[in-house]
Amino acid sequence: VYVYHLTRRLCSASDDLSARNLKDLLLNPSAISAFLYQHGISFTEVNNHPALFYYGNKVDLSDVNEPDALYLRYRLGYDDELDYCFNGYVLPHTDYYKPLSECPEFISILSRYLGNSAIITDYYCNSKYYCYTYKLNINSIIIDGREDLKHDEKVRFIIIQICRRLLEYIMPDLFSLDDFSSIVRTDDNTSVNPDCFVQKEEIRL
């Protein structure tokens, strides 16, 4: 099944056709970890999750009533809930193009929490916005909100989504574009290798 992955990528990663999970990107050499290090941000594995450091000092994310701290704790696996996964859509989803146009959500919230808006500006100026298409085995993807679906049920579900999209084109007054675009993801510890890459298209808003 084709998976359409929206990604604002640093120009230094333009030759990288893989899609690595967040934990891998932060803890190992990558364009993202190198970029963040230039802004004093680094990550060290603590209790099997990336811990955030800013100019060598561990950042306190203990205030669970602070929305940005709570988001970062969740994305970094502080509370045993994981959200490192690669995700995308089984059908192109134009409505979600704009929110990611400046920089990835993780970078945006991290920048805001650290009170350093220059991170967002620098990322934007040194990156381009793409839709990457990957071809993945249907058994390797999870449909958000329908995690219980077995193989045949996933096939049926995706075919129905495609038929609904066709109806959107045929009868636009009855169907709103992208109402039926399903988010899919991989396991949190999985990265998508370059062999799965099909194509990339730059998005110009």
Q: Model confidence over 55-86: pLDDT tens digits?
A: 999 999 998 889 999 999 999 999 888 899 99
More confident residue, 102 or 126: 126
Q: Model's pTM, two decimal places?
A: 0.88
pLDDT-wise least confident of 49-53, 88-92, 105-109, 155-159:
88-92
Q: Please say whether the beta carbons of 59 and 52 come within 8 A.
A: yes
Q: Within the chain, how many helices (H) and strands (E) appear?
A: 6, 9
**φ and ψ of 77, to 5 deg:** 75, 30
Tell me the C-alpha to C-alpha distance, in Å, between residue 51 and each of 70, 134, 162. Answer: 14, 30, 41
